[in-house]
């Protein structure tokens, strides 16, 4: 949404993506880290099903954060993305 707002203001794709990443990137990483920290505490419970669940959610949260901060901005720079 922030990239589209930048494009509507007349910014280039690169500038709109850069500004959106600067404004939302840190908040996204902080939210992912706090989620992972809470799930690490849950992982300490000695119940295998809960440990497996928390491990899966930790991995998915980390991968989602990486995708949102590194991969998604690269896609916005492609020519076919409007």
Q: Are 36 and 57 in contact (CB under 8 A)?
A: no
Q: Say what the pLDDT of residue 18 is.
A: 83
Residue 18 domain-assigned? yes
Query: What pTM was estimated for this model as a whole?
Result: 0.74
Q: Are 63 and 41 in contact (CB under 8 A)?
A: no
Residue 26 domain-assigned? yes
Residue 61 domain-assigned? yes
Q: Say what the pLDDT of residue 19 is.
A: 85
Q: Say what the pLDDT of residue 82 is.
A: 58
In this structure, of 21-25, 55-59, 62-66, the range with the lowest mean pLDDT score is 21-25
Domain that holds residue 16: 2-76
Residue 37 domain-assigned? yes
Domain count, the chain: 1
Residue 32 domain-assigned? yes
Q: Is the pLDDT of residue 39 over 90?
A: yes
Helices within 1-82 (DSSP H only): 2-8, 13-43, 48-66, 72-76
Residue 81 domain-assigned? no
Q: Are 3 and 76 in contact (CB under 8 A)?
A: yes
- Percentage of the chain with pLDDT > 90? 50
Taking the C-alpha atoms of residue 16 and residue 59, their distance in angstroms, rounded to an integer, is 29
């Amino acid at each position: 949404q922030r990239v589209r707002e930048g494009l509507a203001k007349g910014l280039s794709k690169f500038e709109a993506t850069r500004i959106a990443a600067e404004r939302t990137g840190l908040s996204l990483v902080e939210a992912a880290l706090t989620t992972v920290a809470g799930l690490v505490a849950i992982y300490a419970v000695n119940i295998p099903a809960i440990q497996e669940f928390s491990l899966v959610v930790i991995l998915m949260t980390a991968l989602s954060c990486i995708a949102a901060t590194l991969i998604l901005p690269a896609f916005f720079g492609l020519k076919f993305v409007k």
